[in-house]
Amino acid sequence: MSLTQGRRPDDLAAGLASLLAQVDVDLDIVCVGNGSGPGVVPDGVRVLELPENVGIPAGRNRGAELVGGDYVFFLDDDARLPSSRFLADAVAVLDRLGDVGLLQPRVVDPDGAENPRRWIPRLRKGDARTSSDVFSVWEGATLLPRPVFDACDGWGEPYFYAHEGIELAWRVWAQGLRVRYDGELVAHHPAIDPARHAEYYRLNARNRVWLAKRNLPWPLVPVYVASWTAVQLLRWARSPAKLRPWFAGWAEGWRTTPGGRRSIGWVTVWRMARAGRPPVI
């Protein structure tokens, strides 16, 4: 499933071509135009045009509602798969491990630019080629068994943009499964600054608060938010232009209610802590 606003036609064409080139898998491909049509797409790709931009998570969900199959794979419109065996190999990883409910590949800039460390979703980044369990994902190329995705209630639609990959990972862990970063599987994506989005700082902060309110046991909600507040203050202490919209979003998150609360529970908190990342930071 691919999501686009029609702003990157060349990238979208390359991504769809990389999906159609996949071997040893049966494909049901839907391209969602999120507020704008995707333009001409290749044969074998269905199109869903949404009349307005409903946000990244909701756009993905609308596309996922149309596709069938045992697995659901999400690919951003500026990402592509360099190997024609990517999906077959990714499914083989899930089959081999047995208890993994969400898989993210290693992300590489195709033009040789330095790959952002944020693409490795763990505290101790280490070698990008090293696989490990993780507790969030980069959302641009993700694979889940269909029943696992459905049990998560899909991507968190209230977020609109940012942090929906953390919630999805937490809700996979809450099913008694693991989330895996695979350093051997590769997806291509340009190294672009996420702060290019006008609402990046506000949504980043608002969604941190919402993430806690929607998913954590209540005693951990202020702990999680406080830890991330401290992190941002340390990062941007000399950047008031970043902190002002960030704290505006922070206040909005406390003031508003996103709905959809479903606590991951203390058992999941314990499992995540034992695996190396208690959900307090």
pLDDT, tens only, 188-246: 999 987 655 568 899 999 999 999 999 999 999 999 999 999 999 998 888 888 899 99
User: Tokens representing 204?
Assistant: 């980043």
Query: Is the separation of the CB atoms in 170 and 215 below 8 Å?
Result: yes
Give the C-alpha separation, 136 to 143, whole Å.
13
Phi, psi of 8 (to 5 degrees): -130, 65
At 198 the pLDDT is 60
Phi, psi of 179 (to 5 degrees): -115, 135
Task: Find how far residue 107's CA is from the centre of its chain.
Answer: 13
Give the C-alpha separation, 41 to 59, whole Å.
18
Strand partners, 178: 100
Give the C-alpha separation, 143 to 149, whole Å.
9
pLDDT tens string 242-262? 899 999 999 999 999 999 999
Strands 2-4 and 29-34: parallel
pLDDT tens string 134-191? 999 999 999 999 999 999 999 999 999 999 999 999 999 999 999 999 999 999 999 9
